[in-house]
Chains A and B, each alone.
Chain A
Amino acid sequence: MSTIGYDSWAVDLAEVGPVYPFQGYEVLMVILGVAFWIAWHRIQFARESKHLEKARHMGDQEKIHALLEKY
């Protein structure tokens, strides 16, 4: 038994096509891939918002406000 459909490479290469594991489950793999991509954006977005809110209150606030007045 082989996950890629071949147990031996003693074959006619003209007959060989896909050689990746779990052929037939491509749609499921795409669903998992898209879920990973969307989840990444969601997690990154939430973390960045928290980070920027924290960063807003760092540093010398008086100096920052003085600079903002200048511009």
Chain B
Amino acid sequence: MDGNLNALTTVFTEFYYWVTVVFMFLIHVGFCMYEVGASRHRNHMHTLMKNIMIIPLVTVTFFFFGWWIYWSFPNFPFFGGLNHDAGSANLPWSQNMATNLSDRITGVFWAAFLLFSWTAASIVSGAVIERIRSSALWVHAVMIGSVFWIIDAAWGWHAEGWMVKYLGYHDAYASGVIHAVAGGYALGVIMVLGPRIGKFAADGTPRDIPPHNPWMLTIGIFLIYTGFWGFYAACNIPAISPDGIGGLLTGETWTATNIYLAPTSLSAITFNFLMSMSGGLMAAYLVSKGDAFWTFSGGLAGIITASAGNDLYHPIQAMLVGAVGVVIVYKLHYWVERTFKLDDAVGAVAVHGYSGIVGLILAGFLLWGAPSSPYDGYATVNPVGQTIGAVIMFGVLGWLPGFLISKIQAAAGVLRIPVEVELQGLDYAEHHAYEDAKAAIIEADKAALTGSSRVPAE
């Protein structure tokens, strides 16, 4: 650090990302609670373990190769190949990826992205509860969390990403980059995995499998909201000088920027986060006729829909975008369920995937002509670029790998649990072992007491 102002900025940035990461941890707590609330009693421990083990697996793989992908892939493979210089500084054997007093930012910035990786994997996890093998889900978690979402981040969520440069792709708070890709991936998996036993009647009519614990589910979704707010902050760079952006912002005024280094503020995105959430909640209440769970999820879907442009929207625009998105998403969810007999247990494909697509396309129209970046020569935001971006995020990097990897797992017979286990519940064996152990202890106690003076003689 050269000089105390630079030292202060560096330490502030380090602290800023550390705080956002801690808030974002709440997203994962929320996902765990939501999934357990939505699953049936007989699958609780399996559901929890499935989601919790995402944390270490995605963390270590994101350390080994995910972070390198982000820095190396912005123009790979179409527009200039791998960026070896940026990549090598972020390889797992780089001295930046360790305790290093001359680099105080890499670790916390890495962690902010890593928490997005957990989220991508957890979105997939919710759709497949009660029937997927843990081993299969954990391979998917590594693939979506440490490979596919981070490729799309390099392409569309990096100041030098080719989608930003050539398509004018703008997705400031990740309608597509996290949500559409994870929703698309989840759709690919459930198409191969199939529905839970009993979800559809013999004539194909879908049955409602209501959540077993409304409280847990409600607290879960509010924790997701809280973490999502932290996520919004994590999508900003907190303080940067015009020099730090190559002098392309004129004047001397320092600013916060979005991920593309274009100016924004925490104030702006706080307005828009809360207004899009409110629009989503209100629209979901109306369209679902007061269904509690769709209303809660609608708040999340509203934020996700508005996220692509929430650095630039007016708060009322954010509210309306959130509301419009939720109506489309709700209708689309039930149409897909009825038409294709797909069982998305928590509505993850709809809330994250369809919302992401709708949000990207709406941003293309509302922000038409706005600069996507402060750099010269970049395309401006436009509907065609956003629509192509939505196809890449949801379809190419989300749905396609999810579908193909699931097909391979299904062909190998390692995707889905046996039907007998699904009917008894994944926790049955553990409960059985627990009851056996308890019975053995009771028997041992009885035997011990029988031999003691405390037991009266017959």
Contacts and interface: CB of A to CB of B under 8 A. Distances in A.
Interface of A: 13-14, 16-20, 23, 26-27, 29-30, 33-34, 37, 40-41, 44-45, 48-49, 51-59, 61, 64, 67-68, 71
Interface in B79-113: 92-95, 98-103
B443 to A, nearest CB: 21
Given A41-B135, A48-B133, A71-B197, A58 B428 contact: yes
Contact of A27 (B57, B93, B99, B418): B93
A45 B98 CA distance: 31
B201 to A, nearest CB: 9
B161 to A, nearest CB: 27
Contact of A64 (B99, B138, B198, B420): B420
Contact of B135 (A26, A44, A57): A44
Interface of B: 1, 57, 60-61, 63-64, 92-95, 98-103, 133-135, 138-139, 197-198, 202, 414, 417-421, 423-424, 426, 428-429, 432
A41 B418 contact: no
Nearest to A4: B99
A41 B423 CA distance: 26
Contacts of B418: 52-53, 55-56
A18 B100 contact: yes
8 contacts: A16-B102, A17-B102, A29-B93, A41-B139, A44-B138, A55-B418, A55-B421, A68-B420
A18 B64 contact: no
A34 B64 contact: yes
Contacts of B102: 16-18
A52 B93 contact: no
